[in-house]
Structure 1
Amino acid sequence: MLTSFIILALSAVFFINGKIRSDLVALCSLILLVIFNILTPEEALSGFSNNIVIMMIGLFVVGGAIFQTGLAKMISRKILELAGHNQLKLFILIMLVTAGIGAFVSNTGTVALMLPIVVSLAASAHSHPGRFLMPLAFASSMGGMMTLIGTPPNLVIQNTLTEAGYEPLSFFSFTPVGLICIAVGIIALIPLSKIFLSKNETDNQSKHNNGKSQKELIQEYQLMSNLFRVQITNDSHFNNKTLQNLDIARKYHINVLEIRRKPSNQRSFFQTIDQMTAGPETVVKNGDMFYVMGDYGQVEQFIKENHLELIDIHIPEGADIPDNIDLHDIGIAEILLMPSSKLINVPIKESGFREKFNINVLGIQRGGKYILQNLKDEKMHSGDAILVQGTWNNIARMSEDQSDWVVVGQPEAEAAKVTLDHKAPIAATIMLLMILAMVFDWVPAVIAVMVASVLMIFTGCLRNVEDAYRTINWESIVLIAAMLPMSMALEKTGASALISQNLVGSLGHWGPLALLAGIYFTTSLMTMVISNTATAVLLAPIAMQSAIGIGVSPYPFLFAVTVAASMCFASPFSTPPNALVMSAGKYSFIDYVKVGLPLQIIMGIIMIIVLPLLFPF
């Protein structure tokens, strides 16, 4: 038992530290349980064949098809447009639409879908998106409480009940709880967001439909102070050499954004280099104009060593070139890295942005700071906002891949484009049939999900099998598959029984309501430092044994676990949606405490009162 506690404690420490991926921590814990003979190899691997894990994989695929066909985007945009310019109506509709989508697909995917839409609509309502993005993240978690498949902790308590021989929950057993969560969330967040998030409001009246205007992004990232025009002279050894041979980025840590050969050309200031004509094989000629971005000292060294001429960026090349940056077909936008992105800890130079999308990276916003120098060697972090520059078509191409990033700041016409919209009715039909099969118990739930995910691929709602695999958050899958045997180890060694006996001994004599409160807030506290799925896996059997220990129904106690695990708002790192909106909303850690902690406490008090009424002791 002591060894199990030590392994669990070490896992918690590494979960909290966050420097090692949570799935890797869980796998290491699993290996240690086998090494110390607490679990057999068969028991340790049992989590990977568990129904919960298989259902989660299928649900990721189904959700990915719903997003890729544009079904959710089309529905949500149409509904949100009903708000017009009324901020209160927009706020309520954002909460309701997000919760509605989150009831059927992953909360992270829901936020990734809604985020660019909300940024655009917030701008049209003359409001800063920060007023809406934190409530958006919270609403996705509240919506997950509406159905059995809404969030992994719901599947965890279902599994705990069925393994203990209790009647399983139905698909909509969670709906009353979810509706109460959404109602409490809306009522509490209207004043909380107004008081604590309205500081982000700006009086800038020059908003565009793409959220932040191009001018605002340029000012925010201070692009003009780092942008220089450099002309190739007759004496420069650059003449008649290719850009690849010159290797400017590596030698001088500056970024060449554009080369112009004819100053009188009518092209826009920031036009992306066409790699077919001005790529690595482009031959530099006398008189060429380089637009470079970097630190002035590095640019100065670049000029001196290569006999170039610096031209003040405020002096136009010709009468037809304006002083400011004119962006029409060419633009700049922010992309937000998803918490599960494969680009996390990857240097910019290995990102493939230039090679795959013909996109330049201009800057990184991280925790309120802006990184503009030596970008090619800078590693990307979860939650980074990355400023990119390219044609709107290429930026729109990036938005098709929502597994690694979310594009914020496209023109509304581009953001509204859907690539597989003709498949939306098919995706809707498949998902509806899956839900009906689960509601009416035509087939086991896991079979319904598997059939639906395969049909999404065969009917072309996903382009191919590789696309289906990309929709799956493998970190979450491995985490839950590795944590399920951890709960088995705690039960096998008697650790769960010991914890539940202590809970019953300290709170049980006060009655089941006090014990319910103890389990709820223990789960709530644990979810603030480790993932909600891992918390639910560990505490569900403890809640079950505690209820049995005082001779009452386990249902309200298990619901307390799943609600408390899902309704964690006081930290940006407690759930992936909270982290995803942090950069876009310009939030600090204390913003989550000010808004999320009161909501978390209010939700807990309401749930402790309501759960015994819905599921009597």
Structure 2
Amino acid sequence: MNWQAWATVAVIAGAMALFASEKMRIDVVALIALAALMALGILDPHEALAGFSNEATVTVAAMFALSLGIERSGALEPLARLLARIRRPWLLTLALMLAIAPIGAFVKNVALVATFLPLALRVCARTRTSPARVLLPMAYAAQMGGVCTLLGTSSNLLADSLAQRHGLPAFGVFEFTELGALLAVAGIAYLMLVGRWLLPRHVDAEQPQALDIGSYVTELRVMHGSALVGTTIAAARLGERYGVYPLELLRGDRRMWEPRAQEIAVGDVLLVRGDWDKIEDFRRRAGLQIAPEHRYGLPGGGAPVLAEVMVAPASRLEDRTLAEARYPWGYAGTVLAIHRRGQVLREKLDDVRLEVGDVLLLAVDERDLAKLRADEQVVVLSEREDARRVSRRALVAVAIMAGVVAVSGLKWLPIPFAAICGAVAMALTGCFGRKDVYEGMDWKVIVLLGAILPLGTAIEKTGLSHAVVGTGMALFGTHGPLWALLMVYLLTALLTELMGHNPSVVLMVGIAFQVAQSLGVDARPFVVAVAFAAATSFATPVGYPTNTMVYYAGGYRFTDFMRVGIPLIALFCALSMWLIPHFWPFHP
């Protein structure tokens, strides 16, 4: 290999390390890799920017808008209310999977899981069942559904676009459906018959339970007349009397060096940890005031409603402090407390940098509940029941989505054009607001696609793909195309768990074509293997956004994903090796 190929290897290795470490946002990592390839002269400006005009990038953006219309119009609410009536957790698990998998073929997976996550938590709280028994199968079902159509996930669209660049005819919208449906049925059967026994059975005290997500950290201000004035924290014995545990004593901007021995004065702020109902009881009995509520309150004097929200994957709130995040939310709300799984926070609330999975106890104006539900930056874990009827906008949104699928499936219009027309139709009919489409768009994914696509060009331009294929074929090529297909599938699955599904598709589609050419067989089976292996990431909580969501909400450990997901990947791999050559023969 020449120096440019080795330089490309170094860029890929660095990007993989950053993707896997999660120390930096995925779109920033992709931009860094793109800038490095340009600086090294491996890509010229035209090649480097080609990813942002690629039809896969445009189509994914339009599909995000369509999914947003379905979500914001309330089209999924009747199904959610129906599922909320289920009393048995195992039946809820099965019903959720059977409902989510078909919808996931057309609606963004993250939006689906965000919609059904609160009702799953409510049913688990009502039946005193650990959410860990329900949430992981729900996330897996969203992935199973996404792979069933070309529109279901961005990695499918990306694989199709890259395949066309290599000269293959475009895949049809429903060309993946037959294989995807068979794998989904097998996956659901596995999760109900085998996987449910591998899921955690404990009910952890830190698990979401109705309006009690666990131990919150909040600030309580000592007021005139408080029973704590003049006493020390040690003498007050807060843990024994109230079940509330003091962490720090704050006086102005100072932390007291020995908080337990320090005499409490009017105006001091106690940083405490405990269940919210115990904190509230302690506050009333001790004559304290919730400091955030005292500082900010609710403008306009609206009726406050408590809601628990979780910071969602790809949220703009990530890595921002509460003070920085307060103003962009667009509704009247005050963060009263915060819960972070597995950690005890000791900073002032305004100094806490938010992370994905943090749960915030929010006092929000009752009139702004609709805005809160529509906020893409958070997932509402608990709220008042909403008994609204299906709106006209919901029916219009469903009709527009069906029209886009029909028009593109019948090949009356190219998929990107049909998706853009559908997004425009939803905007004109009011399925989402004028600003919603920009606020609800997952720009991280759009930038990631635009910046990572040129990496595939660099792999082929430098001859790196030939070197990788040569090594792989020396190991597997002599055993025939089926073994080579297995190699492509397993390598894609491994890269997906490390890097995410879209980067792995970019790396593997070119390699899949080289493998097919070296064997003298059709490349379509190999592209399908890449698409399916990338879109079904079950073994880690970081390979797919829906996994990340339920990882925090369900209280899972990393090993829970491996224990349940690795056998499921093996099942999908075995079935794919049997079915892919059947639907897409090596020698058509």
Determine helix, strand or coil for the equivalent of 1:560: helix
Distance 1:91 1:502 in 2: 44
State yes or no: 1:338 paired with 2:276. no
RMSD: 3.0
Distance 1:313 1:93 in 2: 42
* Deviation at residue 393 of structure 1 after TM alignment: 5.0
1:142 matched to 2:139? The reply is no
Alignment of 1:474-513 (within 5 A): 474-513=443-482
Matches within 5 A, 1:49-448: 49-78=53-82, 80=83, 84-201=86-203, 212-214=209-211, 216-217=212-213, 220-221=214-215, 230-231=223-224, 251=252, 300-303=264-267, 313=283, 315=285, 332-352=306-326, 356-371=330-345, 373-390=347-364, 393-395=367-369, 397-401=371-375, 403-413=376-386, 421-448=391-418
The alpha carbon displacement at 1:411 in A equals 2.8
Q: CA deviation at 1:565?
A: 0.8
Q: CA deviation at 1:610?
A: 2.0
% identity of equivalent residues: 30
Residue 335 of structure 1 aligns with an amino acid whose one-letter code is V
Aligned partner (choices 458, 461, 468) of residue 428 of structure 2 = 458
Assess if the C-alpha contact under 8 Å between 2:38 and 2:44 holds in 1. Answer: yes
Matched-pair contact (CA < 8 Å) for 2:156–2:535: no
2:532 paired residue number: 563
Task: Verify the 8 A CA contact 2:318 2:356 in the aligned structure 1.
Answer: yes
Is this contact kept in 2: 1:363–1:372, CA < 8 A? no
Shift of 1:490: 0.7
The offset of 1:421, in angstroms, is 2.9
TM-score (norm 2): 0.83
1:397 positional shift: 3.6
- 3-state DSSP class of the match of 1:360? strand
User: Once the two structures are superposed, what CA deviation does each residue of 1:219-241 show, in whole Å capped at 9, x if it has no partner?
Assistant: x32679x76763359xx9xxxxx
**Equivalence map 1:548-587=2 (5 Å):** 548-587=517-556
Following TM superposition, by how much is the alpha carbon of 1:174 offset from its aligned partner in structure 2, in angstroms? 0.8
CA distance in 2, matches of 1:355, 1:604: 43
Q: Deviations over 1:554-608 (max 9, x none)?
A: 1221111111111111111111111111221111212212222222222222222
The offset of 1:184, in angstroms, is 2.0
8 Å Cα contact 2:130/2:201 also seen in 1: no
Q: Which residue is 2:439 aligned to?
A: 470
Query: How has the CA–CA distance of structure 1 residues 482 and 250 changed in structure 2, closer, same or farther, with 3 Å as cutoff?
Result: farther
State the TM-score, normalizing by the size of structure 1: 0.80
Is the aligned partner of 1:611 residue 2:580?
Answer: yes
Q: Deviations over 1:79-128 (max 9, x none)?
A: x25x7323333211101211122111221122112211222333445533
Give the SS at the match of 1:552.
coil
Contact 1:516 1:557 in 2 (8 A): yes
The secondary structure found in structure 1 opposite 2:307 is strand
3-state SS, counterpart of residue 30 of structure 1: helix
Counterpart residue type for residue 515 of structure 1:
A
Q: Secondary structure at the match of 1:382?
A: coil
Instruction: Please list the CA deviations of residues 387-443 of structure 1 after superposition, one character each: whole Å capped at 9, or x if unmatched.
Output: 334455555541221x10111011323xx558x933111111211111111011111
Which residue number in structure 1 is paired with residue 48 of structure 2? Answer: 44
Distance in 1, Cα, partners of 2:134 & 2:490 = 27
Please give the alpha-carbon distance, in whole angstroms, between the structure 2 residues aligned to 1:140 and 1:296. Answer: 49
Change over 3 Å in CA distance of 1:41–1:213 after alignment to 2: closer
Query: Kindly tell me: are residues 250 and 115 of structure 1, through their superposed partners in 2, closer, same or farther at Cα, counting changes over 3 Å?
Result: farther
2:315 aligns to what SS in structure 1?
coil
Name the aligned partner's letter for residue 97 of structure 2.
M
Aligned length: 532
User: Of 23, 41, 44, which aligns to 1:19?
Assistant: 23
Shift of 1:155: 1.1
- Does the residue aligned with 1:408 lie in a helix, a strand or coil? strand
State the SS of the aligned residue for 1:369: coil
Distance change (3 Å), C-alpha of 1:135 and 1:520: same
Quick one: distance in 2 between partners of 1:365 and 1:569?
27
Whole-Å separation in 1 of the counterparts to 2:195 and 2:345 = 29
Any gaps of 5 or more consecutive residues in structure 1? 237-247, 255-294, 306-310, 318-328
> Displacement of 1:368 after TM fit?
2.3
